[in-house]
Structure 1
Amino acid sequence: MKARSELAITVIGHDRPGIVADVSEALARLGANLTDSTMTRLRGHFTWTLVCGGPSAAEVEAALGPLAADGRLLATVREVGPEVEAAVAGEPYLMSVHGADRLGIVAAVTRVLAEAGGNITDLTTRLTGPLYVLVAEVDLPPGTAEAVGKRLAEVAGGLEVEVTLRPTETDVL
């Protein structure tokens, strides 16, 4: 029996209806099992990152090639190792930041998390007119949330933005 590959695929380009259907159909025809993905639009540009198991990287590249032939989409494929089950190393929190757009917001608040040993598991930013919004799911080492919250408040004050850090529930599937 042929070994199944674990692949990371990114698809980026000008947004249009049907991209998700086109890509997922091409993968399904190959027998690729889409396991994890995240997709969004960024200022009119489609972005999708996904992990799937199944065919080789070369087979997936060949199947996605026609979708990128007109130059409006870029698809990249790379083999990755299987997911390693890691022990839960932190407590889940939701951090949100909002305020007037200014250079360095993401760098400053994520540095606070990194210095505390926090791990960002999901991050979204959006600029809406003059308002900048950042929402991140983070895992913090046990017992550090209060100190991290205080440090985030200090950094937010210097940036003239508002920040909140609150505990969240873990995903239950």
Structure 2
Amino acid sequence: MNELAITVIGQDRPGIVADVAEVLARVGANLTDSTMTRLRGHFAMTLVCTGPTAAEAEAALAPLAEDGPLLTTVRVVGGESASTATGEPYLMAVHGADRLGIVAAVTRVLAEAGGNVTDLTTRLTGPLYVLVAEVDLPPGTADDLSRRLTEVATGLGVVVTLRRADSDLL
């Protein structure tokens, strides 16, 4: 079965999610994973679906992009590897005055510890910069990583917290 990664970006307006979902449903696309957000007046959607070929999905989405309000991309992707290493789930939050390099610095520390960012959101509200990330960490690395993150955060003039994530409740 085909597995596709699709992105949709454009000026935010009501109905983008409905328009995209309806078009994809008509060509038999089953949406399996997605993330959608509004970024300073722009809407961004990334989703993974199964079903149609890339050509079928591109043709179905083309009318949404032909007048220029939306940009869509379709790419064939492979299934998630069963051997994908998973770590222990943690939540990291960073907040403080906005400055260049916050995301680069804290994610570098995570990467050097073998951590994997699985979700990351940032917001700038006036002078306050907030970053919230879900990360998978190798077992037994959280205490040392927390210490290293605090060192880097102090140098940036921000505050960082790292805590074990609670299991998702369904």
Classify the TM-score, shorter chain. over 0.9
2:47 counterpart residue number: 50
Q: 1:145 aligns with which of 123, 131, 142?
A: 142
Deviation for aligned residue 1:18: 0.3
Secondary structure of the residue aligned to 1:83 is: coil
Identity across matched positions, percent: 77
1:85-139 superposed Cα distances (whole Å, 9 cap, x missing partner): 2355311110000000000000010111001000111000011111000000011
Q: How many residues were matched structurally?
A: 170
Structure 1 CA distance, aligned partners of 2:169 and 2:138? 21
Aligned residue type for 1:166: R
Counterparts of 1:6-155 in structure 2, within 5 Å, are 6-86=3-83, 88-155=85-152
Aligned residue type for 1:44: G
1:158 counterpart residue number: 155
Where in structure 1 do 4 or more consecutive aligned residues deviate above 6 Å?
Answer: none
Q: Which runs of 5+ in 1 are unaligned?
A: none
Structure 2 CA distance, aligned partners of 1:52 and 1:172? 24
TM score, norm. by length of structure 2: 0.97
Structure 1 CA distance, aligned partners of 2:80 and 2:163? 28
Secondary structure of the residue aligned to 1:71 is: coil
Aligned residue type for 1:66: P
**What RMSD in Å do the two structures reach over aligned CA positions?**
1.1
Structure 1 CA distance, aligned partners of 2:168 and 2:2? 27
Deviation for aligned residue 1:170: 3.1
TM score, norm. by length of structure 1: 0.95
Q: Which runs of 5+ in 2 are unaligned?
A: none
